[in-house]
Chains A and B, each alone.
Chain A
Amino acid sequence: MAMNNTQKIEIELNGEPYAIEVDSSLEQLLIAIGKGIESAENSSPRRFGAVAVELNAEIVSQDQFSQTQLNDGDKVEVVTLVGGG
């Protein structure tokens, strides 16, 4: 298999298969699915909006997204708040 920068791994994202480039971080995944907020003010806590992320059933805090590398077969959950009782 030729190594090039289009090589992909497959993860499970919210229960569905999802292909992403090797060496992607959680931050890159969130930006790819439209959950990264480009903010001019560089104040960080809400950069990803109202989401929580679980990697293989463990919560990853938002300040760890950029340092968390994804591996083939990882199970990722990206959740938010919805109406409920």
Chain B
Amino acid sequence: MSIDTPIESNPNSESADAIPKVAPLQIGSHTLNSRLILGSGKYDSFETMRDSIDASGCDCVTLAVRREKLNDSSARNILDFLDHDRLTLLPNTAGCYDAVTAVRCARMGRAILEGLDNPGQNWVKLEVLGNSRTLLPDPFELLKATELLVKDGFEVLCYSNDDPVVARRLKDAGAASVMPAGSPIGSGLGISNMNNQRIILGELKREDPDYPVILDAGVGTASDAAIAMQLGFDAVLLNSAVAHAEKPIKMSSAMRLAVVAGKLAFEAGRMGKSTYGSASSPELGVISSRNTPDS
């Protein structure tokens, strides 16, 4: 190795204090500058949600579709706390347990965003659950709903099991992105099957390296998000890890940095692992001569 021939230049040499930039992410027709997608649920207050979104630096926020409370004009509307002129909203189908209901829910989300003139009106985070305790997806209904929504013109981001075959089927059905769960929604367990995630990334990106694959659900703290990005995920979608942190706004800042750190680490290419040590300081010129054997 020659130390006189650098193989990379420093892209941030002029702004040492700024957060390094990573390339924007393309999902279907949408371009996101942040690799973090934040959920808007579970916050103690709309104010904390708003400030957490600001701290995250994200430009995409998920929302759920629910029945209006009737005769309750005093209720504050979440949209008054979301800068929906700047943010791309991503409606979800959370709480749906069959394809038909999920499709109805997606269409309702689209109709609301059309009324708001928000660019998120053509996409949906598709969630079709199979079990109310684990909140894990029902892959059969999920695939059916994906096919129906793709046919209806939606860009479908599929919240999926961490199963490589299911992920492949969803991509083949036309999903704009497959979003495997790291672990159950709201569990904070991080990535429970790292090898399945590696296989999913490998299979979905084989001959299609720009196909967006997003880790959705399970992230508990910033290192989980960084690990996901290091594995090669294109983005991380999370909610509880920020909303249920002791200090959500600070955790949101941590997540912002973690996805950038993980993405850079992935691009940088990690060093090889070794069972044995390899000294960082030269052995040549050590001042003492050693006379004890290795124990």
Chain A positions near chain B (C-beta within 8 angstroms): 13-16, 33-35, 45-46, 48-54, 57, 59, 61-62, 77-85
Query: Could you tell me the distance between the alpha carbons of A48 and B114 in the complex, rounded to whole angstroms?
Result: 12
Within 8 Å by CB of B68, from A45, A79, A85, lies A79
Contact A33 B77 (CB under 8 A): no
Contact partner of A81 (CB less than 8 A), chosen from B63, B114, B117, is B63
Bound-state Cα–Cα, A50 to B238, Å? 24
How distant is the Cα of A19 from the Cα of B65 in the complex, in angstroms? 25
Main secondary structure on chain B at its contact with chain A? Answer: mixed
CB pair A81–B79 under 8 Å, yes or no, is yes
Interface residues in B47-82 (C-beta closer than 8 Å to A): 49, 62-68, 70-73, 77-79
Say yes or no: B68 contacts A81, CB within 8 Å: no
Using known A-B contacts A14-B70, A62-B115, A84-B40, determine if residue A77 contacts B108 with beta carbons closer than 8 Å: yes
Decide if A85 touches B66 in the complex (CB within 8 Å).
no
Are A81 and B115 in touch, CB under 8 angstroms? no
Binding site for A on B (CB under 8 A): 39-43, 49, 62-68, 70-73, 77-79, 89, 91-92, 94, 104, 107-112, 114-117, 185-186, 217, 237-240
Residues A50 and B112 in contact, CB atoms below 8 Å apart = yes
**Docked complex Cα distance between A13 and B70 (Å):** 9
Which residue on A lies nearest to B80, using beta carbons? Answer: A50
A83–B49 alpha-carbon span in the complex (Å): 9
- List the B side residues contacting A81 at CB < 8 Å: 63-66, 78-79, 89, 91, 109, 112
List A contacts of B42 (CB < 8 A): 83, 85
Q: Which 4 A-B pairs have the closest CB atoms?
A: A84-B64, A85-B39, A85-B239, A52-B111
A-B contact pairs, 13 of them (CB 8 A): A13-B70, A33-B70, A48-B115, A49-B77, A51-B68, A59-B108, A79-B66, A81-B65, A81-B66, A81-B89, A83-B43, A84-B39, A85-B39
**In the complex, A54 Cα to B109 Cα: how many Å?**
11
Instruction: Tell me the minimal C-beta distance from B239 to chain A in angstroms.
Output: 3
Contacting residue for A61 out of B49, B66, B77, B111, CB 8 A: B111
Residues of B contacting A59 with CB < 8 Å?
107-108, 111
The 8 Å CB contact of B112, one of A13, A33, A79, A83, is: A79
Which of B43, B73, B77, B112 contacts A52, CB < 8 Å? B112
CB distance B63 to A83 under 8 Å? yes
Q: For the complex formed, measure the closest distance between the CB of A51 and the CB atoms of chain B, giving whole angstroms.
A: 6
Partner of A83, one of B70, B73, B78, B110: B78
B146 smallest CB distance to A (angstroms) = 19
Q: Which residue of chain A lies nearest to B94 when distances are taken between CB atoms in the complex?
A: A84
